[in-house]
Structure 1
Amino acid sequence: MRTRIGIIGAGPAGLFLAHLLHRAGIESVIVETRSRAAVESTIRAGMLEDWVVRLLRAMGLADRLDREAHFHDGVSLQVGAVRQHLDLAGLTGGKQVTIYAQHEVLKDLIAARLADGGEIRFEAHVTALDGIEGDSPAIHFTEAGDARRLDCDFIVAADGFHGPGRDAIPDAARREYQKVYPFGWLGILCHAPRSWPELVYARHEDGFALLTTRSDAIQRLYIQCEPADPIEAWPDARIWDALHRRLATPGWSLTEGAIFQKGIIPLRSFVCETMRHGRLFLAGDAAHIVPPTGAKGLNLAVADVRVLARAFERFYAYDDAAGFDTYAATALGRIWKGERFSWWMTTMLHRDPSETDFEHRIHAADLAYVMGSTAAQAALAENYLGLPFTD
């Protein structure tokens, strides 16, 4: 098999890249470990920045999003029992908070890619990459028990934090940075009507809580917990008790419902600044991870491939490889700002048991400043809904 761009991973980065390349007339093949059903059913957070929504519309991929997504003018911050609306739309000239789950985005991208005649090899397990330091890189994978080889001009590893792409770069060549947080999130999905018209981010003495939505009848909620907790330690009654305490406000109560999914995720910040090695490029979670508090994961992934697609277009149209040389620096400029914002939101809103009382007071003062300052709210709004591009 042969293609111009071999893409590992049918997540946001890989699928957006394949569509952008297709629009430029550049052939690609996606190799994905999971089945199509698994990709489309893995539920992830789904806050889309304004520019990502506009990109989907420009590519003709937003019909279902426009029908089914939830659009909000802002979010609410809560400290103790005090809840305050932040008018993000008013602070950003009309940009809205768009809630559309990541797996729904992937469904739309997969269906459109296949309808365009694009090739996605599901249940294809990558075993090795070779030739990345030369002119003829290749992806080796197994499919239905058979060994296969995909020869490419270039390889893009958009295969997530645990994928084989980043590991193909020699350890001595990789420059990485990481912070592991001493807390995690317990997330639930439940059958319940919407309790509040927008997202609520709450800082409480017991720990962080987040109220969000997936549809008019399905709600998504999170609470801060110990990352090593077994899920059995959190029966439904304990979860609802924690949510009621952390989200309580006078005259309002959270609507309960049947919990049909729950799980605990650890929180980390991670950046691999080596986003190119020879003819291998990293994009999305393969190169960076953010805690979900700032809602940046999918959006940073799409920003990566926006830059990378332009570099490929420039190469194939004009035989100009300059975009490859600047890819990492350009992408990292936005990545580190997203990392900073995600770290700031996380440390401001969570109770970190390893911090001193002084640090707890600083975070409380930071949150009070945001809730009381239009300038601080404007900075939060700009970062939350998507920083402007300089090109």
Structure 2
Amino acid sequence: MQSQTTQVVIVGGGPSGLLLSQLLHRAGIDTIVLERQTRDYVLGRIRAGVLEHGFVDLLRRAGASARMDRDGMVHHGFHIAHQGRLDRIDLAGSAKGQTVMVYGQTEVTRDLYEARDAMRGQIIHEAANVALHDLTTVRPYVTYEQQGETRRIDTKFIVGADGFHGVSRKSIPSDVLREYEKVYPFGWLGVLSQTSPAADELIYARHDRGFALCSMRNPQLSRYYIQVPLTDRVEDWSDAAFWEELKRRLPDDVARGLQTGPSIEKSIAPLRSFVAEPMRYGALFLAGDAAHIVPPTGAKGLNLAASDIHYLYDGLSDHFLRGDDTALDSYSERALARIWKAERFSWWMTNLLHRFPDMSPADLRLQQADLDYLFSSDAAQASLAENYVGLPY
């Protein structure tokens, strides 16, 4: 059996795993990243594109921000459409000048790959049947299969950034792990199109027919979503049907100016809230979707993974460079405190803007009253803005 040794094994080659590897490498800490899929597959994933200011700062610290700083779009606010009109949330004005960056997750991942390549970072793709061993000992190790051969990596710590369906969370005994989940009774049908965005800033729409979102990746690439029942399939929705339904849920002036075109990608994503506790088991640390899922309302998924990486980087660098385990020992507690606040925000925003199947007339009036209050209160708008741009780490 071939074997290697490294200080940190990172399971999962998505943006969070790559970001941690890059940050640790720049601090002089050795890592190996294991990814089940090919590089092309990872770069083909279509994901969120709104980055909190904290994530933007982390990319700059990682030396992977040049293209984002050049091509990314700084947004100072966003719109909420309701009752046929648009109201704007002034992020910069309500959140002490803080903003968000619109820059696609695919581009973040590509930038991080290039940064790892420049530093000759070790990323092992098509690593099959990854298994974690001896997690509660001082000599944990990881095995995986590649080209029909089993290989071993001895390490000090393992970071599980391999997503909701990955092996890392499943490696924690069931009598240790606590899982909290809320499944929503609808999904988002998303379309990517080579069209100009509907507006200069995002539009979140609350409508009697269901939620809609007008987003973008760049000035020529737009991403749109509509709320659909969980029973719907992508095949049920032609491009023409999607555009027609989207227009129905937008104010008339926005709908009239909407540029439509063939879809480049079309998919349905279910919505759920999920948290696993604790996020540490011996030498294993969970990060990102391996530990938590949020509804996409409010764009917290990727950003929560970034805050996990911030806390892990603090803890691991303190351990290896200063012999101090204080931050590492408190990782789970610190990360979960921020995660639950983001879960609350995403749950609140989802309830504010979506049409639930069992809503009564009173529920609908209360939902509209919540929106009316939001736009009549500077304090309420400040609370939304503070959460949207990202709570402090």
TM (norm. structure 1) is 0.96
Q: Which residue of 1 aligns with 2:109?
A: 106
Cα 1:5–1:210 change in 2 (3 A) is: same
Secondary structure of 1:381's aligned partner: helix
> Is the CA contact 2:86–2:251 (under 8 Å) kept in the aligned structure 1?
no
Consecutive aligned runs of 4 or more in structure 1 exceeding 6 Å deviation: none
Opposite residue 146 of structure 1, the aligned amino acid is E
In 1, Cα distance between the equivalents of 2:165 and 2:52? 25
In 2, Cα distance between the equivalents of 1:177 and 1:241? 37
In 1, Cα distance between the equivalents of 2:286 and 2:297? 23
Opposite residue 127 of structure 2, the aligned amino acid is A
Q: Which residue of 2 aligns with 1:165?
A: 168
In 1, Cα distance between the equivalents of 2:321 and 2:70? 37
Q: Does 1:84 align with 2:91?
A: no
Q: Does 1:261 align with 2:289?
A: no
> Is the CA contact 2:197–2:214 (under 8 Å) kept in the aligned structure 1?
no
Q: Which residue of 2 aligns with 1:316?
A: 320
Q: Which residue of 2 aligns with 1:244?
A: 247
Q: Residue 190 of structure 1: which of 170, 181, 193 is its match?
A: 193
Opposite residue 262 of structure 2, the aligned amino acid is A
After superposition, give the CA deviation of every residue in 1:67-88 in whole Å (9 maximum; x if it has no partner). 2112221100110311112211
Q: CA RMSD, aligned part only?
A: 1.3
Opposite residue 368 of structure 2, the aligned amino acid is A
Q: Does 1:213 align with 2:239?
A: no
Pairs within 5 Å for 1:299-378: 299-378=303-382
Q: Does 1:136 align with 2:132?
A: no
Q: Which residue of 1 aligns with 2:50?
A: 47
After superposition, give the CA deviation of every residue in 1:354-380 in whole Å (9 maximum; x if it has no partner). 333332322221112112222111111
In 1, Cα distance between the equivalents of 2:173 and 2:288? 19
In 2, Cα distance between the equivalents of 1:197 and 1:32? 36
What count of residue pairs does the alignment treat as equivalent? 389
Secondary structure of 1:241's aligned partner: helix
Q: Identify the range of structure 1 (155-164 vs 234-243) with the bigger mean alpha-carbon deviation.
A: 234-243
In 2, Cα distance between the equivalents of 1:168 and 1:89? 42
Opposite residue 206 of structure 2, the aligned amino acid is R
After superposition, give the CA deviation of every residue in 1:97-140 in whole Å (9 maximum; x if it has no partner). 21101010010011101211210001112332111011111111
In 1, Cα distance between the equivalents of 2:100 and 2:324? 38
> Is the CA contact 1:247–1:254 (under 8 Å) kept in the aligned structure 2?
no
Q: Following TM superposition, by how much is the alpha carbon of 1:292 offset from its aligned partner in structure 2, in angstroms?
A: 0.5
Q: Following TM superposition, by how much is the alpha carbon of 1:236 offset from its aligned partner in structure 2, in angstroms?
A: 1.4
Q: Following TM superposition, by how much is the alpha carbon of 1:381 offset from its aligned partner in structure 2, in angstroms?
A: 0.7
Opposite residue 285 of structure 1, the aligned amino acid is D
In 2, Cα distance between the equivalents of 1:244 and 1:318? 57
In 2, Cα distance between the equivalents of 1:214 and 1:319? 42
Q: Which residue of 2 aligns with 1:63?
A: 66
Secondary structure of 1:212's aligned partner: strand
After superposition, give the CA deviation of every residue in 1:118-169 in whole Å (9 maximum; x if it has no partner). 1000111233211101111111111122211111111110000000000000
Q: Does 1:297 align with 2:301?
A: yes
Secondary structure of 1:176's aligned partner: strand
> Is the CA contact 1:80–1:205 (under 8 Å) kept in the aligned structure 2?
no
> Is the CA contact 1:214–1:220 (under 8 Å) kept in the aligned structure 2?
yes
Q: Mind listing any 5+ residue stretches in structure 2 that lack a counterpart?
A: none
Q: Does 1:385 align with 2:392?
A: no
Q: Mind listing any 5+ residue stretches in structure 1 that lack a counterpart?
A: none
After superposition, give the CA deviation of every residue in 1:53-77 in whole Å (9 maximum; x if it has no partner). 1222233221100121122211001
Pairs within 5 Å for 1:195-206: 195-206=198-209
Q: Following TM superposition, by how much is the alpha carbon of 1:232 offset from its aligned partner in structure 2, in angstroms?
A: 1.2
TM (norm. structure 2) is 0.96
> Is the CA contact 1:185–1:267 (under 8 Å) kept in the aligned structure 2?
yes
Secondary structure of 1:173's aligned partner: coil
> Is the CA contact 1:199–1:213 (under 8 Å) kept in the aligned structure 2?
yes
